[in-house]
């Protein structure tokens, strides 16, 4: 089960979850992903080696995709 989550004031919110076999859940996840991007969020897909990658298209093979806000120098 892959998950799309957003970091927010509640800690985090799960926006969607999907499996490779369930096309409907994938479509819903892609829509949720696009909505978040439109609102200015950035998407970060966690890779198996522990690094992360900025993504503009929902990687359906990722286990976890996190929507985050932009950072800035303090």
Partner 1 sequence: MHEAVLAEAAAMPWRRRASKKSLGREGRIWTLWSIGIAVTFGVPAALLAWIQPLALPVSAIFLGHGIAVLHLQAQRGARGVKPMAAPNSPAERTALGLLGDLVGHESRELLTDTGLAPQRGRLGAWLVGEEGAILVRPGGHRVHCFCVRVGEGADLPPGDRVAHLLLALREDEQGFATVSNRNFSGATWRLRMELPKRCRPALSAARSSAARRSAG
- Site for partner 1, rule CB under 8 A: 5, 7-12, 42, 44, 46, 50-54, 66, 68-74
Strands 2-6 and 13-18: antiparallel
Instruction: Give me the least distance between CB of 18 and partner 1, in Å please.
Output: 19
The owner of tokens 């949720």 is 32
How many CB atoms sit inside 10 A of residue 35's CB? 12
- Which residue's CB is nearer to partner 1, number 12 or number 26? 12
For partner 1, give the closer residue by CB, 23 or 47. Answer: 47
Smallest gap from residue 19 Cβ to partner 1 (A) = 20
Helix (H) or strand (E) holding 17: strand 13-18
């Amino acid at each position: 089960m892959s998950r799309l989550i957003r970091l927010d004031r509640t800690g985090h919110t799960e926006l969607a979850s999907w499996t490779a076999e369930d096309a409907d859940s994938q479509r819903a996840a892609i829509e949720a992903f696009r909505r978040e991007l439109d609102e200015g969020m950035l998407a970060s897909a966690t890779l198996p080696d522990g690094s992360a990658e900025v993504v503009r298209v929902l990687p359906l093979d990722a286990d976890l995709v996190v929507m985050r806000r932009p950072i800035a120098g303090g």
